[in-house]
Structure 1
Amino acid sequence: MSLPDPSTFIAEGASAAVYRLDGGRVLKLFHEGVDAGIIAREHATAQAIQATGLPVPRVFGRAEAGGRQGIIYSEIEGPNLLHHIVRHPHRIGWAMGAMAALQRAIHAHDLPELRSRKAILAEDIEMAPIGDRLRAAAIDRLDQLIEGDRLSHGDLHPANLIVSGDGLAVIDWSKAARSAPAADVVRSEMLMRFGPGQSAGRLEGKLRDATTAYYVGRYRKLAGMEPDALNAWRGLVGLAWLRHRLPGRDAAFAAYLADALARAGLPPLEG
Structure 2
Amino acid sequence: MTTVPGPPIATGRTAVIYEWIPGQVLKVFTDVLGTEAASLEVRNSEQAFELGITPIRCHGVVALEDGRIGVAFDRLHGAALTTVAERRPYLIPSVARRLAHVHAFIHSTTGQAFRDICDIAVNLLDTEAFAPLTVVERDDLRTHIHAMPSGNAVLHLDFHPLNVFEHGEGLATIDWQSTASGDPAADVAATIVLFTEAEPFPGISTLQRIVYQSVQRLMLRSYLAEYQRLTGIGPDRITPWMTTARVLRLGWLDVESERDALLKRICADTLRSAR
TM-score (norm 1): 0.84
Residue in 1 that maps onto 2:176: 173
Question: How far is the alpha carbon of 1:90 from its aligned partner?
Answer: 0.5
The answer for unaligned runs of 5 or more in structure 2 is none
SS in 2 for 1:41: helix
Assess, with a 3 A threshold, how the Cα gap between structure 1 residues 74 and 232 changes in structure 2: closer, same or farther. same
Q: Which amino acid aligns with 1:214?
A: S
1:231 aligned onto 2:239: yes
Counterparts of residues 135-214 of structure 1 (less than 5 Å): 135-197=138-200, 205-214=213-222
SS in 2 for 1:192: helix
Counterparts of residues 238-249 of structure 1 (less than 5 Å): 238-243=246-251, 244-247=254-257
Question: How far is the alpha carbon of 1:43 from its aligned partner?
Answer: 1.1
Q: Which amino acid aligns with 2:98?
A: A
Question: How far is the alpha carbon of 1:103 from its aligned partner?
Answer: 0.4
1:148-198 Cα shifts (integer Å, max 9, x gaps): 221111101111111234222111111111121111100001101222225
- Which of 217, 226, 235 matches 2:225? 217
Separation in structure 2 between the aligned mates of residue 21 and residue 173 of structure 1, nearest angstrom: 20
Counterparts of residues 14-93 of structure 1 (less than 5 Å): 14-32=13-31, 34-66=33-65, 67-93=67-93
1:125 aligned onto 2:137: no
Residue in 1 that maps onto 2:273: 265
Q: Say if 2:100 and 2:224, in contact at 8 Å, map to a contact too.
A: yes
Question: How far is the alpha carbon of 1:249 from its aligned partner?
Answer: 12
Residue in 1 that maps onto 2:5: 4
Question: How far is the alpha carbon of 1:104 from its aligned partner?
Answer: 0.6
Counterparts of residues 104-115 of structure 1 (less than 5 Å): 104-115=104-115
Q: Which amino acid aligns with 1:237?
A: A
Question: How far is the alpha carbon of 1:220 from its aligned partner?
Answer: 1.5
Q: Which amino acid aligns with 2:79?
A: P
Question: How far is the alpha carbon of 1:231 from its aligned partner?
Answer: 1.9
1:226-245 Cα shifts (integer Å, max 9, x gaps): 42211221123224433414
SS in 2 for 1:163: strand
Assess, with a 3 A threshold, how the Cα gap between structure 1 residues 85 and 206 changes in structure 2: closer, same or farther. closer
Assess, with a 3 A threshold, how the Cα gap between structure 1 residues 140 and 248 changes in structure 2: closer, same or farther. closer
Separation in structure 2 between the aligned mates of residue 249 and residue 220 of structure 1, nearest angstrom: 30
SS in 2 for 1:222: helix
Q: Which amino acid aligns with 2:239?
A: N
Residue in 1 that maps onto 2:103: 103
Q: Say if 1:122 and 1:240, in contact at 8 Å, map to a contact too.
A: no
The answer for unaligned runs of 5 or more in structure 1 is none
Question: How far is the alpha carbon of 1:45 from its aligned partner?
Answer: 1.4
Identity of aligned residues (%): 24
Separation in structure 1 between the aligned mates of residue 70 and residue 263 of structure 2, nearest angstrom: 38
Q: Which amino acid aligns with 1:173?
A: W
Q: Say if 1:138 and 1:266, in contact at 8 Å, map to a contact too.
A: no
